Structure 1
Amino acid sequence: MFRLDNKKAVVTGGGSGIGQAIAVVLAKQGAEVHIFEISQENAAATVALISAEGGTATVHTVDVSDQKAVVKAFEEIGKLNILVNNAGIAHIGKADNTPEDDFDRVMRVNVKGVYNCLFAAIPQLRKAGGGVIINMASIAALVGLPDRFAYSTAKGAVKAMTMSVAKDYIAEGIRCNSISPARVHTPFVDGFLQKNYPDNIEEMFDRLSKTQPIGRMAKPEEIAALALYLCSDEASFITGVDYPIDGGFTTLNN
């Protein structure tokens, strides 16, 4: 089950965290994986993990907010079966203290970046006779989170784009779903704690973990397992759905 042999996949932001875990598991299940990443060092680390397990991966140094670069990369890759729109950036702030430059930067990467990849990938999915798109949304698109105005706005747009694409391309055999994680233990979390709470990292890590009713953060591999299922033929009847994977956050925090 869940084999992806003879499938070609693009994973944006595949150099670390959730993107890296998704790239690794797709390759492990037989896919030829293409990683879009602005950090060559991070991308190389992912390729090393994939190669160590006998998988196939290629790195493309691409800024997803640059449409010309994105289109060029997808044209080089050609016929495609899977797109995972994972690349994104975080931001902390409320509506009245989020600088315009920061808001624009989040929209450029988290919204326009997803659009750019959809724009360039759909023609390649069409050449393959259909395929699968997974967009990484967030529980921030579903519930109110404090100090996450720009990020929540962007992820709300990602969820809406997912539903629109699922509707528009269902007749062409293109499925589109989104995944909405709660807090996931990634290098970003470690960096955030080191920067903002250097004197009480363990205490804050425990506090952040317990915001999920299940009592911990997710592991990137757990998000990747859901992505793998949605990319597989076993999920061929699923499209236009957002999947919260949140340790009970959206339903049990009351």
Structure 2
Amino acid sequence: MNRDQVVLVTGATGGIGRATARAFASAGCGLVLTDIDLSQLAALEEELKADHNQQIISLPGDLGETGFWKELIANTFAKCGTVDVLVNNAAWRTIETMRTIPVETWEKTLRICLTAPAFLSQAVAMRMEALKRPAVIVNVSSMMADRPAGTSPAYIAAKGALDSLTSELAVTYGRSGIRVVGVSPGYVETALSRDYRDADGDDVSARLIDAVNDSVPLGRGASPEEIAAAICWLASEGASYITGTTLVIDGGFKPNFSGYSIKRNQFPDQF
């Protein structure tokens, strides 16, 4: 990364967002951080300012509110003059099925997970085209777009559409020197992966995580730092010919048909 670049990270206080902010800060980039959690955002800004000398700016707000999108981009360019990298990381979802999800929840999920990334990307690209400067947009998707569990219908729909949007934006803005790429993490060790409960309200997250990891060839989930490292690389000159595609980071989960407990029953000496 170039040390004079400015990176805008949404959902900055979550597991992947926080790790991504730290990684770009360590690379010497200026940062604009946004999140709905004001106290956590202030703490992250203080932490990064204590550890790094470059510009760190917090712009709190709710991406579920469409008016905040324009405000965020306007304030970012007013303060920094550029957005060299936009990381669309913010997410929101509920755990329920298509049988019960209300339309209000569906629309809020799509607004935060799909529509906000679309129009933040549009706004950044338009301004960077006017400046005649290249840029990179990184959309944080999910492998659940291809391996749904039946328990987060709006989130799954949004992430599947986000993958398609990544390709569409790359085609639209490529000739302006704007690359658009995605990352599609599998299970990552974050709070968002530990909010699963059964019908009685008991936490079943650990059981679900164990079941997923049983089918991961590498045998574990990813750390947020591993996802952040991929995001930083995709935004770097080392990935300068990559656009319009989404990198799956799932430890090999997606192509694996059966869990390793089943494989060991079949071939106890081989797995």
Q: What is the TM-score of this pair, normalised by structure 2?
A: 0.85
Instruction: Report the counterpart of residue 64 of structure 1 in structure 2.
Output: 63
User: Partners of 1:253 and 1:23 in 2: how far apart?
Assistant: 35
Q: Give the Cα separation in 2 of the matches to 1:128 and 1:38.
A: 32
Residue type of the alignment partner of 2:45: V
Say if 1:81 and 1:128, in contact at 8 Å, map to a contact too: no
Q: Aligned equivalents of 2:228 and 2:150: distance in 1? A: 26
- Judge which range, 200-209 or 92-101, deviates more: 200-209
- CA shift in 2, pair 1:193/1:25, >3 Å: farther
Deviates more, 1:23-32 or 1:123-132: 123-132
Say how many residue pairs are matched: 251
Tell me the amino acid that sits aligned with residue 184 of structure 2: S
Cα distance in structure 1, aligned partners of 2:207 and 2:61: 37
Larger Rg: 2
**What runs of 5+ residues in structure 1 fail to find an aligned partner?**
none
User: 2:48 corresponds to which residue?
Assistant: 50
Structure 2 residue runs of 5 or longer lacking an equivalent are 259-271
Contact 2:4/2:28 (<8 A) preserved? yes
Tell me the equivalent position of 2:263.
Answer: none
- Aligned amino acid, residue 58 of structure 1: I
Letter in 1 for 2:76: I
Letter in 1 for 2:174: I
Q: Distance in 2 between matches of 1:83 and 1:204?
A: 32
TM superposition shift of 1:196 = 4.6
Q: CA RMSD in A?
A: 2.2
Q: Give the fraction of aligned pairs with identical amino acids, expressed as a percent.
A: 27
Deviates more, 1:142-151 or 1:71-80: 142-151
Q: What letter matches 1:134 in structure 2?
A: V
With normalisation by structure 1, the TM-score equals 0.90
Q: Runs ≥4 in structure 1, deviation > 6 angstroms?
A: none
CA distance in 2 between counterparts of 1:185 and 1:118 reads 27
Q: Does 1:89 align with 2:95?
A: no
- The 3 A distance-change label for structure 1 pair 119 and 62 is farther
Give distance in 2, aligned partners of 1:239 and 1:222: 20
Map of 1:158 onto structure 2: 162
CA distance in 2, matches of 1:83, 1:215: 31
Change (3 A) 1:166 1:202: closer
Aligned match of 2:182: 178
Distance, in Å, in 2 between the alignment partners of 1:223 and 1:193 is 26
CA distance in 1, matches of 2:132, 2:25: 19
Q: CA deviation at 1:204?
A: 5.1
Structure 2 residue aligned with 1:4, among 2, 5, 9?
Answer: 2
1:27-53 Cα deviation digits (max 9, x unpaired): 110110101111111212322332232
Partner in structure 2 of residue 76 of structure 1: 75
Instruction: Return the letter of the residue paired with 2:121.
Output: L
Picking from 197, 208, 230, the partner of 2:202 is 197
SS at match of 2:8: strand
Q: Give 1:207-218 correspondences, 5 Å limit.
A: 207-218=211-222
Describe how 1:19-58 pairs up with structure 2 within 5 A.
19-55=17-53, 56-58=55-57
